[in-house]
Amino acid sequence: MAILVLGGAGYIGSHTVYELIATGHDVVVADNLTTGFRAAVHPKARFYQLDARDHAALSDLFAKEKIEGVIHFAAYSQVGESMSNPLKYYDNNLYGATVLLQAMQEHDVKNIVFSSTAAVYGEPERMPILEDDPTKPTNCYGETKLAMEKMMYWASQANGLHYVALRYFNACGAHPSGQIGEAHNPETHLIPLILQVPNGQRQKIAIYGDNYPTPDGTCIRDYIHVSDLAQAHILALDYLLRGGENNVFNLGNGVGFSVRQVIDTARQTTGHAIPAEIAPKRAGDPAQLVASSAKAQQVLGWQPEYTNLADIVETAWQWHRTHPNGYEK
């Protein structure tokens, strides 16, 4: 039996595929390569280029492969873009998930682990955030992920789907082998953008707002290494295959860093001055997002390995320094 990783050519998907293969799983990757890269797919995974909205292609895949569980990453994930083009997000994220669940139901595949996000909480009322805290997304990206969670819930009530939703905080870092890492086009995420400065690709980093209600005025996020996220997917899948109940877990380190602190860490790691300038706030950004991951630790036995921001930034730097243009030659 194999695991289907939808979106396995993307950032978190590709790292999860590497971990699945390292732990002896048979892996099938499907990706439309809109934002993913063929070169990011582990050579031992069987690859299908298809779109999650393509019902016929998904049905063919389920007919050909014996799939016991699905890990679903395939979605758009940029906060800013989701605010200017919300329908693009509804179409890919929600319609894609609908078609996937339909195809799974038709082929009697019951187990799914899927990427959700801290953005489902919106502007949180308390810190750290617990899984049963209110969900009021402040951006369309988070809204579509929350709607996907609800879709899984109702499908589970009606036809016995088993699901785990993993709400990631800020994914960052790269595989310690240096073979795969973060590559977005255009890049919008803080750490890769900062590292473009010492890489000679950018003059300075923009800080999106410095009058948030935080100690230094810049936004606070909980940065979690992509390899730790990958491990959590494997634990969640094992949990479902053992008969674990439907569940939702936060995944973060439980420690918040401001944008300024992240820039300072990158200055220390790279030895570069990395000039920064204050820029307007980005629409939809909450001031502070920090996870409580106690539930994932207790129920799944998850224990993040990279608990130090400097170590995380070091793995990111190793990747970006050696792959300044990502997967492109």
Q: Which is nearer to ligand UDP, 92 or 111 (CB)?
A: 92
Asked if residue 291 binds ligand UDP (CB under 6 A), the reply is: no
Q: Which of 11, 47, 208, 306 is the binder for ligand UDP (CB under 6 A)? A: 208
Shortest distance in whole angstroms from residue 198 CB to ligand UDP: 15
Q: Are 96 and 75 in contact (CB under 8 A)?
A: yes
Asked if residue 115 binds ligand UDP (CB under 6 A), the reply is: no
Distance CA 165, CA 154 (A): 13
Q: Which of 14, 170, 293, 318 is the binder for ligand UDP (CB under 6 A)? A: 170
Neighbours of 210 (CB within 10 A): 17
Q: Which of 141, 163, 208, 239 is catalytic?
A: 141
The region of 144-152, 173-181, 206-214, 294-302 touching ligand UDP under the rule CB under 6 A is 206-214
For the CA atoms of 250, 254, 257, 262, what is the dihedral angle to 10 degrees? Answer: -80
Distance CA 266, CA 88 (A): 33
Asked if residue 188 binds ligand UDP (CB under 6 A), the reply is: yes
Neighbours of 256 (CB within 10 A): 22
Shortest distance in whole angstroms from residue 219 CB to ligand UDP: 3
Q: Which of 189, 202, 267, 272 is the binder for ligand UDP (CB under 6 A)? A: 189
Alpha helices in 170-217, H assignment, sequence order: 190-195
Q: Which is nearer to ligand UDP, 79 or 140 (CB)?
A: 79
Using alpha carbons, list the distances in angstroms from residue 214 to 170, 183, 185, 257, 278: 18, 29, 30, 10, 15
Asked if residue 187 binds ligand UDP (CB under 6 A), the reply is: no
The region of 22-30, 102-110, 142-150, 183-191 touching ligand UDP under the rule CB under 6 A is 183-191
Q: Are 8 and 38 in contact (CB under 8 A)?
A: no
Shortest distance in whole angstroms from residue 276 CB to ligand UDP: 9
The reply to whether 89 belongs to the active site is no
Q: Are 219 and 270 in contact (CB under 8 A)?
A: no
- Reduce the DSSP state of residue 3 to 3 states and report it: strand
Q: What is the pattern of x (binds ligand UDP, CB under 6 A) and - over residues 46-85?
A: ---------------------------------x------
Q: Are 62 and 71 in contact (CB under 8 A)?
A: no
Residue closest to ligand UDP when measured from CB atoms: 219
Return the amino acid letter for 116: S
Q: Which two tokens stand for residue 204?
A: 């300075």
Q: In what order do the strands lie in the sheet with 257-258?
A: 257-258, 220-221, 288-289
Q: What is the pattern of x (binds ligand UDP, CB under 6 A) and - over residues 212-251?
A: -------x-x------------------------------
Q: Are 167 and 137 in contact (CB under 8 A)?
A: no
Asked if residue 190 binds ligand UDP (CB under 6 A), the reply is: yes
Q: Residue numbers of the site for ligand UDP (CB under 6 A)?
A: 79, 170, 188-190, 193, 205-208, 219, 221, 259, 282, 285
